[in-house]
Amino acid sequence: MPNEPHPLSRRDALKRVIGVSIALSSLDLNSFGAVQGIGTDPNLHKKEIPWPRVLTAEEKRIVAKLSDLIIPADEFGPAATEVGVPDFIDEWVSAPYELQQKDGKVIRAGLAWIDGDAKKRFQKGFADCAPADQTAILDDIVKDKTEAHKKGFDFFKNFRDKVTGGYYSTPAGWKAIGYVGNTPMLEFPGPPPEVLKHLGLA
């Protein structure tokens, strides 16, 4: 069933949060040390994570719909919800680190904004709107650079980055972009001819 998120365990979600965080060029690695009020980072060998997830059920519904609009199922791979992106987003905005807390404020405010815009325009919350209406809202956010949609654009850009980060940190995401790293090879055939041609080396 579309938009039925695949559940992701707390530990798996947090591993992906940490992995994506480290990959961000703006990351201050010191933020992964002790955080006042929670102690050191959680032990991923244990079941418990020392903070609750913060997204409400309705926020998670909006996250799921938005995630699958950004990365739908196609010939390259499954939809974002099928690889646990909503749980990844929930873990991201729930983590008590400076970067995640800052993003959490933007994302949760943006979810409220986009839901309010849907109710104003279509008399339904965003998650209950028809796909065409959901797409229309996103089109306006991206195309309309006026002050009326600035908050929506800032949110959507941040949210889109988190969805793609969560998606492409999974095996399904790696396969979708043709990533074959960490695979043993008997020999290295060298760059493909089209790459050499593009670089002016062939």
Q: HEC states along 28-47? A: CHHHHCCECCCECCCCCCCC
Task: State residue 90's pLDDT score.
Answer: 95
Task: State residue 185's pLDDT score.
Answer: 72
pLDDT along the chain (202 residues), means of 10: 64 74 53 45 64 94 97 92 94 90 95 96 97 94 78 90 91 80 75 87 80
Q: Are 104 and 17 in contact (CB under 8 A)?
A: no
The pTM of the full predicted model, rounded to 2 decimals, is: 0.74
Task: State residue 195's pLDDT score.
Answer: 86
Short-list 101, 95, 107, CA closest to 66: 107
Task: State residue 108's pLDDT score.
Answer: 97
Task: State residue 24's pLDDT score.
Answer: 60
Task: State residue 33's pLDDT score.
Answer: 43
